[in-house]
Amino acid sequence: MTPVLRKDWLRVIRLAEGEGFKPPSAEDFVLPPIFGDNAFTTKPIFLAFLAVILISSFFILSARKAAVVPSKLQYAGESVYGFVRNNLAKDVIGHEFMRFVPYLFTLFTFILVNNLFGIIPFLQFPTMSRVSFPYVLAIITFLVFHYVGVRKHGAFKYIKEIMFMPGVPKVAYILITPLELLTFFLVRPLTLSLRLFANMFAGHLLLMVFFLGGEHLLQGVIGLKLISPFAFLIGVALTFFEFMVQCLQAYIFTLLAALYIAGALADEH
């Protein structure tokens, strides 16, 4: 496109847009309280409680009439449980895995359901796109894996194994010790939470751009109206992509939590 043509094209869009399109931004994630001024009654908090109710009622129902020949509901519940127990806990942690299955299972289902709220009609807000939720989950995971390590090795030996990795030349400790300390006490919890937050935040923003943009194009001149179905189409395709990302992020968070626990339990790092 030549510069002149491009300028004309931009002017046409600007004329068609009227007051101009305000793209969605980080401010769209700050939702007002539902009841009065109480900051504890925002949508994400209700969604978190809804997730707890949904998950617990689903698994209580599916386990209530447990039989040798499972019903459909029991099968669904057990396959989720089996996935976390076998693929996440058993493969990663090893022979002591049964102690950590309840925690990992809670983590996985809670994150998964909260993420899926991002694409469920009428709810359509991933709880984890508010950064405080992933922070809390990461802090709990941080406490769990350090507690496990200290219980297993004793505080002194545990810290020593983190700081002085065996099998490394003595000179290299100048570099490795600060890096290892930083990794274990700062980078791990920080990245664990930020990875989940960033994915949910970016995904929700992406969907908003395409759906709000498509809606805005509909209000434009006839040429823009013709383009808007494509924006909606891409939005729908991205919704399926988001579904994949949401499942993947729940899996990765739980897998990394299991990996960190396994690392704290291991005899030599």
Q: What contacts 257, CB < 8 A, 6 or more positions away?
A: 103, 104, 107, 141, 144, 145, 192
Question: Does residue 198 touch other proteins according to CB under 8 A?
Answer: yes
Segment near other proteins (CB under 8 A); pick from 117-125, 154-162, 236-244, 251-259: 251-259
Size of the site for other proteins (CB under 8 A): 14
15/186 with CB nearer other proteins: 186
Q: Closest distance between other proteins and the C-beta of residue 42, in Å?
A: 21
Question: Does residue 191 touch other proteins according to CB under 8 A?
Answer: yes
One residue of 34, 136, 187, 237 binding other proteins per CB under 8 A: 187
- 118 contacts 204 by C-beta, under 8 angstroms: yes
One residue of 14, 34, 65, 91 binding other proteins per CB under 8 A: 91
Angle at 257 between CA 253 and CA 260, to 5 degrees: 140
Question: Does residue 261 touch other proteins according to CB under 8 A?
Answer: no
- 106 contacts 257 by C-beta, under 8 angstroms: no
109/193 with CB nearer other proteins: 193
- 181 contacts 146 by C-beta, under 8 angstroms: no
Question: Does residue 80 touch other proteins according to CB under 8 A?
Answer: no
One residue of 112, 162, 262, 264 binding other proteins per CB under 8 A: 262
Q: What contacts 236, CB < 8 A, 6 or more positions away?
A: none
Angle at 258 between CA 257 and CA 260, to 5 degrees: 65
Distance set, CA 107 to CA 56, 81, 129, 225, 252 (Å): 13, 12, 16, 44, 11
Segment near other proteins (CB under 8 A); pick from 48-56, 60-68, 190-198, 236-244: 190-198
One residue of 12, 52, 224, 259 binding other proteins per CB under 8 A: 259
Residues at the interface with other proteins (CB under 8 A): 26, 91-92, 187, 190-191, 194-195, 198, 252, 255-256, 259, 262
